[in-house]
């Protein structure tokens, strides 16, 4: 029992170290991969443009829920005018980046991991190595970069749609004054809050993309192995995202 616990602890430390080493390996190749812009563009399309519908839908509903809940709560104190400020700060700083990252891990991360895992299982990666093409440079880095670029943009879109959703509920249905909604929002949201959201979404983009390509690239080359790599991508990405979220929030205070 105790030995199992120790082994799993050692395993998790080893995997963190392996992810770190993989990050270095990917980062070294980034400048060269940037020359093959067409590959990166295709991956931005895969990771970003194709996640757009789910991100926008989720953003709308999250914003509407924030609008409803915030209105119910603020109404008790007779200060429902602060709804705009509450919704905007909540969405821009927390909900936007975090929920986008979780959805991104589920929608784009799993696709990346299973694609790379299947390439590994069907020996496509080994074939590239035989042809003296570095699979990290040709396959992994464009996917990583695509995710890193797409994630902050997705988070920003999520926040904007969410604010729109909160506005629909608050102003158009619950009858909060539109001017107070926007003016209180402008008065209380600083540029620092937006920056915090952008920093978070960039960090989550790096973390989620890295975990996805790492798990896919190092998947056990069997059907079961690819499945496990996909599952682990979601779990590890979610844990990393929430952990980083705490760290970044604390450092911005």
Partner 1 sequence: MNNSRALSFGTGLFMLLGFAALLFLTTQTTSHGISLMRKPHYDLLAKFDNIGDLKVGSPVSIAGVEIGRVTKIGFDTHDYKAVVTLSIDAKYNQLPTDSDASIYTQGLLGGKFIGLTAGGAETYLKDHDQIDFTQSAFVLENLIGQFLANMGKSSGDKPDAAAPAEKTK
Q: How far is the CB of 226 from partner 1 (least distance, A)?
A: 26
Binding to partner 1 by CB under 8 A, coded x per residue (else -) over 76-95, reads -xxxxxx-----x---x---
Q: How far is the CB of 158 from partner 1 (least distance, A)?
A: 8
Count of Cβ atoms closer than 10 Å to residue 224 Cβ = 10
Among 73, 160, 220, 242, binds partner 1 (CB under 8 A): 160
Q: Which two tokens stand for residue 119?
A: 């390439």
Binding to partner 1 by CB under 8 A, coded x per residue (else -) over 20-59, reads ------------------x--xx-xx--xx--x-------
Integer angstrom CA distances of residue 248 from 15, 101, 159, 241: 23, 14, 18, 10
The candidate with the shortest Cα–Cα distance to 109, out of 50, 26, 41, 31, is 50
DSSP string, 93-126: IIIHHHHHHHHHIIIIIHHHHHHHHHHHHTTHHH
Q: How far is the CB of 130 from partner 1 (least distance, A)?
A: 27
Nearer to partner 1, 79 or 218 (CB): 79
Q: How far is the CB of 19 from partner 1 (least distance, A)?
A: 27
Scan for tokens 């440079």, then name that residue: 137
The candidate with the shortest Cα–Cα distance to 112, out of 233, 7, 9, 16, is 233
Binding to partner 1 by CB under 8 A, coded x per residue (else -) over 191-220, reads x-xx--xx----------------------
Among 9, 190, 223, 249, binds partner 1 (CB under 8 A): 190
Q: Give the distance from CA 205 to its chain's centroid.
A: 5
Measured distance CA(159)–CA(104) in Å, rounded: 14
Sign of CA dihedral 232, 233, 238, 240: positive
- Residues near partner 1 (CB under 8 A): 38, 41-42, 44-45, 48-49, 52, 77-82, 88, 92, 149-150, 152-154, 156-157, 159-160, 163, 177, 179-180, 182-187, 189-191, 193-194, 197-198
């Amino acid at each position: 029992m105790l030995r199992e616990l120790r082994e799993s602890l050692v395993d998790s430390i080893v995997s963190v170290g392996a992810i770190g080493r993989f990050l270095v390996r990917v980062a070294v190749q980034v400048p060269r991969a940037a020359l093959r812009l067409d590959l990166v563009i295709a991956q931005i399309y895969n990771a970003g443009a194709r996640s757009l519908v789910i991100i926008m839908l989720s953003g709308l509903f999250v914003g509407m829920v924030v609008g409803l809940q915030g209105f119910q709560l603020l109404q008790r104190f007779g200060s429902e005018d602060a709804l705009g400020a509450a919704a905007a700060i909540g969405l821009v700083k927390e909900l936007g980046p975090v929920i986008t990252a979780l959805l991104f891990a589920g929608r784009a991360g799993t696709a990346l991991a299973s694609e790379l895992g299947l390439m590994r299982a069907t020996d496509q990666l080994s074939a590239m190595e035989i042809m003296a093409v570095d699979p990290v440079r040709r396959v992994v880095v464009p996917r990583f970069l695509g995710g890193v670029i797409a994630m902050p943009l997705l988070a920003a879109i999520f926040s904007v749609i969410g604010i729109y959703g909160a506005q629909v509920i608050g102003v158009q249905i619950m009858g909060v004054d539109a001017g107070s909604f926007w003016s209180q929002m402008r008065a209380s949201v600083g540029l620092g809050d937006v920056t915090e959201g952008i920093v978070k979404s960039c960090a989550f983009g790096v973390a989620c993309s890295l975990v996805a390509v790492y798990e896919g690239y190092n998947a056990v080359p069997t059907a079961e192995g690819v499945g496990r790599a996909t599952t682990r991508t979601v779990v590890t990405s979610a844990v990393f995202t929430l952990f980083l979220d705490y760290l970044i929030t604390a450092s911005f205070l």
